[in-house]
Amino acid sequence: MITHVIIIIAQFERNFNLTGGGKMIVEGTINAPIEKQTIDPRAQLIILVLINIIGMTNRSFKMEIVSMIVLAMLLIWQGMWEKCLRYSIAYGIVWLMIALSVLIPNPITGLMAMVGVMGRKTVPVIMFASSIIASTKIGKLIAALQDINFPRGLTIALAVAIRFFPTLKEESSVVINSMKMRGLNFNLKSIITHPVLVVENILVPIMMRMTIIADELAVSSMTRGIDSMKKRTSYYENKFAVSNGLLILLFAAMAVMAFMEVI
């Protein structure tokens, strides 16, 4: 029912071109493509907080499933089919682990159940957080946070952190590949038998690379006035669309219901 509402809103906005939340405003260029649906960064952050609240307070299975479905629909709405599928499978596995511990109770499945219970709480949060990282233009995030007078230092720190995720992913894959080339295994067995060694092998080179890249990035943004005292403007316009407000209301309602244990 709720997901239907979202889809209807989305269709409506697409047809009548009402969405401000994410359309690029480019005058006079022909090559402006139709963007995927995006949610205003402020709304995304508020929803992220609400999802955390739901996760922490909720004790009802029904509510958990509902919130997972809503999240899944939200990702699909933004065109992230693959991401949605991946996290849904992860969520399924989490439940499988819990189910297994109930069916065959022994120490190993008990351990799995522990991981499973943790996963139940974290998968939805990570799922939404990763959709934020994938969908948000950093310039837009900075502008949005500035509009609500978020401190500049914190804004920049947050923007840099998000900017670093793809780099981190890229650098780790290079390190893992070169470990393989050196005959150093990176698999479940090696992680269990030599956890400290594996972490050390991966972390040291990555940290070294990260410090270099962070310095280069800092220098490049300083020479372009990142530490200017002026109020920063934004190339993109952030409009808080109706759908964004409705989404926040929806999640807020779910958070309240979870807290009051309505369902």
The values of phi and psi at residue 40, to 5°, are -55, 135
CB of 91 to other proteins, least distance (A): 23
CB of 143 to other proteins, least distance (A): 8
CB of 30 to other proteins, least distance (A): 9
Q: Which residues in 219-238 contact other proteins (CB under 8 A)? A: 219-237
| Contact assessment for residue 10 and residue 37, using Cβ atoms and an 8 Å cutoff | yes
Spatial separation of the C-alpha atoms in residues 159 and 144, rounded to whole Å: 11
User: How many residues at the interface with other proteins, by CB under 8 A?
Assistant: 61
Question: Which DSSP category does 229 fall into?
Answer: S
117 makes contact with other proteins (CB under 8 A): no
Spatial separation of the C-alpha atoms in residues 98 and 116, rounded to whole Å: 6
Q: Which residues in 158-217 contact other proteins (CB under 8 A)? A: 159, 163, 166-167, 171, 174-175, 177-184, 200-201, 204-206, 208-209, 212-213, 216-217
Burial class of residue 54 (count of CB atoms within 10 Å of its CB; 0-12, 13-18, 19+) = buried
CB of 209 to other proteins, least distance (A): 5
Q: Taking phi first (over 0 means left), then psi (-120 to 50 degrees means alpha), and beta for anything else, what does residue 261 get?
A: left
**Dihedral sign (CA 15, 19, 23, 29):** positive
At a CB cut-off of 8 Å and minimum separation 6, what does 227 contact? none
CB of 155 to other proteins, least distance (A): 12
CB of 142 to other proteins, least distance (A): 8
Question: End-to-end alpha-carbon separation of the chain, Å?
Answer: 16
153 makes contact with other proteins (CB under 8 A): no
245 makes contact with other proteins (CB under 8 A): no
Place of tokens 């998000």: 162
* Contact string 120-149 vs other proteins (x = CB under 8 A): -----------------xxxx-xx------
17 makes contact with other proteins (CB under 8 A): no
Residues at the contact surface with other proteins, assessed by CB under 8 A: 24-29, 31-33, 137-140, 142-143, 159, 163, 166-167, 171, 174-175, 177-184, 200-201, 204-206, 208-209, 212-213, 216-237
